[in-house]
Structure 1
Amino acid sequence: MTYAPSTAELIASRLTGHALPHDLYCGAQAYQDDLDQIWYREWLFAGPSCELPKAGSYTTLQVGAFPVIVTRGEDGRILAFHNVCRHRGQRLCATANGTNPKLVCPYHQWTYDLTGKLVFARDMGPTFDPSKYSLMPVHCIDLSGMVFICLAKIPPSISEFAQNVIRFIAPSGLADAKIAHSSTIVENGNWKLVLENNRECYHCGGSHPSLCRTYSDDPLMTVMDGPHAASPEIMDHWARCDAADLPARFTNDPQMQWRMARVPLMDDQESFTMSGKAAVSRRMGRMPWNDAGSLMLYHFPSSWNHFLADHAIVFRILPINATQTQVTTNWLVHKDAVEGVDYTIEDLTRVWLDTNDEDRQVVEENQKGILSPAYQPGPYSPTQEAGVIHFVDWYCGLMSARLGMQHAAE
C-alpha cells in the first residue's frame, strides 16, 4: 500500500522559493484541508455592494460545502446567511442573484424577512416557536462598497485591512457605482494556481497582448518594498497622488495576505482599453484625472481588484474542487453613466475578457502538467515571481500554524 503524506508533511517538505508539491495542487485531502483551514475561516470577498441596489436584492455564492446568500435589508444594511431553510434544509435561493421582498423557501414556503427572522411557517402546531428557527447568520461587512463574509464562528480581525480599504477606495465612490457587466468562468485548475498566475506578470508578454498595451510587465512596476521605496516612475506618481489627496502609496499586511498600491499605466495611458483611453466618459467618484493609474488591491484567498479613474474591475475566486475554480469578474461604472452614450460594453470589457480567457488557458495547462507523475516543483524567479513567493509563503505559513506543525516541532 502506497503511503500518502499528509498536507502538513507536504508543506514541511516544500523547498523555500519553489512551487508546491504535486498533491497540494491536486490531492483531495489537501483540498479539504484548504477549505477547513482557510476558506471556512478567513474573510472572503463576496462582491460589490452595488450588486445589491435595493432592499430585497440578493446574491448567492457557494464556498466549499456552504451555500451562502447575501442580501440588502429594508434599513439598507447588507447581511449574509447560510442559504439553508431551517425546516428541511432546502436552499432558499437557487439563482445567482435576484430581488425578493422576503426569503421564501420554494419547498414548503417557510418565509423569512430580510433580517433572517422566520415570519411564516404553515401548520406547525400550537407549540411551535418560530423565534428558534431564524436563518443562520454569516459574518458580513461592507467596506465602502466591497462586501466580505466569513464562515467562522469567531472571524479573524479585519480592522486594519478594513481601515486601509476604506481609505484607498473612497475616491472611487463605489456606493455610487453600478455593475455594467459581469462574467463568471470556470478554470480547470486548483485555486492556488489561479492566484499564483495572478500574482506575477512573468507570463504577460507571451500571453496577454491586449493587457500589455497599457499594463507594464516590468516587475519593478509591481514589486515594492514600502511606501517610500519603489521605482522612480511610481514614486513620481505617488507624489502627484499625495498632492491630490488620492491614497496611492504601497501598504500591506506583514504576512502579505493583503496589499494595495496605485500604479501608473504605461506611457500615462488612462485605462485598460485597446486604445489606452478611458472606456467611460464619466469618472468614478472623485477621481481627479483620467490618468490616475490603477489601484491594485488583493486579499488572499479570494480576490484581486483594479480601481481606475473611469471604472473598477473586481475579481472573486471560489474553489469548486481540487482542480476547478470559479472566477467572477464585475466591471463597475458610475451609476449615472449610460451605456451607448458614456461607454460601450465592448470597449469596457475587451481587455479583461481576453485576459481572463488567456489566464484560464495558462492555468489549465499548468494544472495538466502538474498532474503528470513527472512533475517536480521548480524554483520561482526572485524578481519576476516575488508576488507568487508572497502568496505561497502566506499559504504555507498559515496552514503550518493551523495544522499544528509549529507546536509539533517544539
Structure 2
Amino acid sequence: MSVTSQPNAAPPPAQGAAAAARPAAQAVVRALLDEHRPGHCLPGPMYHDPAVHAADLDLVWHREWVFAGHECELAEPGAYITLTVGTHPLVVVRGTDGVLRALHNVCRHRGAVLCEAPSGNTRRKLVCPYHQWAYELDGSLYKARAMPPGMTPSELGLRPAHVGTASGLVFVCVADTPPPFEPFAATVAAHLAPFDLAGAKIAHESVLVEQGNWKLVMENNRECYHCRISHPELAKSFPLAPLHSGGGSEDEARATAEVVAACEAAGVPSGFLMSDDFQYRVMRMALEHARSMTMDGEPAVAHRWAGLPGEDVVRDVGDVLLYHYPSMWSHYVGDHALTFRMLPTGPTTTELRTTWLVPGDAVEGEDYDLKTLTEVWLATNDQDTALVERTQRGVTSPAFVPGPYSEVEEDGVIQFVAWYTERLRAGLGG
C-alpha cells in the first residue's frame, strides 16, 4: 500500500455565480433528505435533479477516494490512464522515478486537456497538443515556447491530486485533504494478496455509458433480488442469496461457510470484513456449484492465480467480493478477476468501465478463450444497463412514490443509501 498526498491538490473554491447558487441547491437537497423515509427508496428528484447532482459531486465525488484503475496498467515509466472525477479531468502517470502520481489533466497555459486517450504511454513528457507546453512526468513545467522572460516555471506545474494504491488497485482523490486511505488498504490486503493484481494482465475492457443516475447503477449492483429472471447467464454461477451484503439464511450461507473454512485452513484469509459506515467491505463467497463465473462454471483460464493454494489443497476458492463506495465493486475468482469503475457523467448518465484481468503469464488463445472469459458479464452488463435505464425513466415521473426495500433481499441497498445520505448530511452540516 502506498499513498502520495499532495498539498493544495484541489482547485480553488467555486466563485461567482456557481458559489452564489450553492445555498439554494443545498436547500433543495436538505428538503429531499428530510423527505426520505429510512428503509425506502430515495425521493425521485434525488436521481435526476441538477441540484442533487451538484451536491453529489461537491459532497461525495470531490471528497472521497475514487477507483481509477490498476497498477498493472501503469507498470512502465510514462504509462498513464485518464478519468474524470465529477468536474475534474485527471491523468494518473508513472514517473521516470517510478513514482505514481495523479495530476489534474489541464494545461496551465489556457486550460486544454492534455491527454485524451483512456490510457497510453507518453514516454518522457506530457505535451499539450494546443500550444505544446511540455511537462515532466512529475507535473513540473519543462518548456513553454515564446513566453515572457518574467514567467516563473516553478509556479506553473500541473496541479496535483492524491493517489493511493491498495493491493494493485489505484485510487485518486481531488479533495484538498483526503479521508484516510490506509484503513481501507489494510482491510483488503490479505484477501487480495493471492491474486497479485500488480503483476496481472488486462485481457479485456468494456466501457458503457448508462442512461441512469450513478446511484441507480450502484443500487442495482447491491442486490440480486432481480437476478433470477434478469440474469440467466450470471445465475448459472452467482448465488441469488444476499450473501454479498452479509445476509442469507443459514442454509444459504452454509456453502460459503465451508469454502471460507477450507481457505482459512489453507492460510488464505476469507472472512467478512466491513467498515463501520458501510463504505467498503471484502469477503469470500461460494459460487453456485461453480468454480468460476462462466457459462459452464468451469475456469476460463487454464491455471489459477499463483498465490492461491493448489487444487490438491483447495479445489474451490469461491469468489472474493470487494466494494468501495462511491465508485467500484469487483470479483476475484480462482482464474481471473473483474473490476468495475463507475463515474457520474451527468444527473442521469453514468460511465461504467469493466476490466477482466488474468494472471500475468496467461496467453490468449493458449491459456484462455476471450469469449469464454467475458460472455457472462458482457451479457449481465447489457441486462443491467436496460434495467437502470428503465428505472431512470420511472423515478423521473412525478407519479413516483418511493416504496420500501426488502430487508431480506435488499439489505445491501439499504446499507449503500445509509452511507450516501450520511455523507450528504455531514457535508451539509446536519
Please give the range of the TM-score, normalised by the shorter of the 2 chains: over 0.9
Query: Aligned partners of 1:166, 1:109: CA distance in 2, in Å?
Result: 42
Which of the residues 268, 274, 278 maps onto 2:299?
Answer: 278
- CA offset digits 1:48-70 (Å, max 9, x no partner): 11122311111111122111101
Matched, 1:192 2:192: no
Pick from 43, 53, 60: which aligns with 2:65? 43
Which amino acid letter does the alignment assign opposite residue 59 of structure 2?
Q
Q: How many residues align?
A: 400
> Deviations along 1:250-275, whole A, 9 cap, x unmatched?
000111000110111112x1111001
1:224 to 2:249 alignment: no
Correspondent of 1:361 among 373, 379, 386: 386
| 1:29 equivalenced with 2:51 (yes/no) | yes
Distance 2:117 2:172 in 1: 19
The answer as to 2:235 corresponding to 1:209 is no
Q: Deviations over 1:284-332 (max 9, x none)?
A: 2312245211110000000000011101000000001111000000000
- Measured after TM superposition, the shift of residue 230 of structure 1 is 8.8
Deviation at 1:126, TM superposition (A): 2.7
Question: 1:408 is matched with which residue?
Answer: none
> What is the deviation of 1:377?
0.2
Which of 379, 382, 404 is the equivalent residue of 2:404? 379
SS at match of 1:139: strand
Task: Report the Cα distance in structure 2 between the residues aligned to 1:49 and 1:377, rounded to whole angstroms.
Answer: 41
SS of match in other structure, 1:107 = coil
Runs of 4+ in 1 over 6 A off after TM superposition: none
One of 91, 116, 123 as aligned partner of 2:113: 91
- Would you say the 8 A contact 1:174–1:285 is kept in 2? no
Give ranges in structure 2 of 5+ residues lacking alignment. Answer: 1-23
2:247–2:408 contact (8 Å) kept in structure 1 = no
Q: Is the 8 A contact 1:331 1:349 kept in 2?
A: yes
How many angstroms apart in 2 are the aligned matches of 1:276 and 1:88? 53
How much has 1:77 moved relative to structure 2? 2.3
State how far apart, in whole Å, the 1-side matches of 2:271 and 2:28 are. Answer: 41
Query: Which of 292, 302, 309 matches 2:317?
Result: 292
Contact 1:78 1:142 survives alignment (8 Å): no
Separation in structure 2 between the aligned mates of residue 353 and residue 185 of structure 1, nearest angstrom: 10
**How far did residue 233 of structure 1 move?**
2.2
When normalised by structure 1's length, the TM-score is: 0.94
Normalising by structure 2, report the TM-score: 0.90
Residue aligning to 1:20: 42
Which residue in 1 is equivalent to 2:3? none
Bigger shift: residues 283-292 or 110-119: 283-292
Compute the displacement of 1:279 (Å).
Answer: 0.5
Pairwise CA RMSD of aligned residues?
Answer: 1.8
The CA deviation at 1:379 is 0.3
For residues 244 and 55 of structure 2, what CA distance do their matches in structure 1 show?
Answer: 31
> Which whole-Å CA distance do the structure 1 matches of 2:85 and 2:362 have between them?
33
Aligned partner of residue 279 in structure 1, secondary structure: coil
Kindly provide the amino acid, as one letter, of the partner of residue 88 in structure 2: F
Quote the Cα distance in structure 2 between the aligned partners of 1:225 and 1:355. 22
How far apart in 1 are the matches of 2:376 and 2:409?
22
Choose which of 341, 357, 367 in structure 2 pairs with 1:332: 357
The correspondence of residues 229-244 of structure 1 with structure 2, limited to 5 A, is 231-244=253-266
Distance across 2 between alignment mates of 1:209 and 1:225: 22
In structure 2, give the amino acid aligned to 1:20. Answer: L
Shift of 1:22: 1.0
Partner of 1:126 in structure 2?
149
- Give the partner amino acid of 2:377: W
Distance (Å, rounded) in 2 between the aligned partners of 1:236 and 1:270: 14
Aligned partners of 1:285, 1:130: CA distance in 2, in Å?
47
Partner of 1:106: 129
Q: Does the aligned pair in 2 maintain the 1:21–1:376 contact within 8 Å?
A: yes
Check conservation: 2:91, 2:104, Cα contact below 8 A: yes
**Identical positions, percent:** 47
> Does the residue aligned with 1:307 lie in a helix, a strand or coil?
strand
**Counterpart in 1 of 2:198?**
175
Q: In the TM superposition, what are the counterparts of 1:126-145 in structure 2 within 5 Å?
A: 126-145=149-168
Q: Report the secondary structure of 1:231's partner residue.
A: helix
Partner SS state of residue 161, structure 1: helix
Q: 2:343 aligned to 308, 314, 318, which one? A: 318
Aligned equivalents of 2:398, 2:28: Cα separation in 1: 18
2:104 corresponds to which of 70, 75, 82: 82
